[in-house]
Amino acid sequence: MKVAPYLFFDGRAEEAIEFYGRVLGAKVEMMMRFKDNPSPGMNPPGSENKVMHASVQIGESVVMLSDGNCTGKPEFRGFAITLYVADDAEAESKFKALSDGGRVEMPLNRTFFASKFGMVADRFGVVWMVIVAS
């Protein structure tokens, strides 16, 4: 069994895919636009070129995403995505990259459970916990 997060970016999915590709090395496995929907009557108005469904590989994990209802107001509350990295240098690099245009919720520091741990909400509002597991 696997569990994969599915994120709805409400019109900013393509921007998110590009950002995660640049900062996390995310690779698109599959992407379908609303114009490819065999039932176009179910599409949000004006969404033809928006992302109906995409699957991206980040490291060994898959994250799925969509533009959803294309309202332009993505909301990510009540969860975080944990990014396990190999060492402190990678933690610093990924944390800094995810912070670009976002906000640090807990600075990256040494903790009793990890050599580095921090929390950041990226430019889309997705909360990431970056950790170097001890």
Q: What is the pLDDT of residues 29-57, one digit of tens each?
A: 999 999 998 887 788 888 889 999 999 99
Examine the pLDDT at 107 and tell me if it is beyond 70. Answer: yes
Q: Residues 117, 86: one domain?
A: yes
Helices within the chain (DSSP H only): 13-24, 88-99
Q: Residues 48, 85: one domain?
A: no
Across the chain, mean pLDDT equals: 94
Q: What is the pLDDT of residue 38?
A: 87
Task: Tell me if the pTM is above 0.85.
Answer: yes
Residues 6+ apart with CB under 8 A from 131: 82, 83, 84, 85, 91, 114, 116, 117
Name the burial class of residue 62, with classes exposed (0-12), middle (13-18) and buried (19+) by CB atoms within 10 angstroms of its CB. middle
Helices within 25-123 (DSSP H only): 88-99
Could you give the number of structural domains in the chain? 2
What is the rounded average pLDDT of the residues 88-101?
A: 98
In a domain? residue 72:
no
In a domain? residue 15:
yes
Q: Residues 54, 88: one domain?
A: no
99: containing domain:
81-133
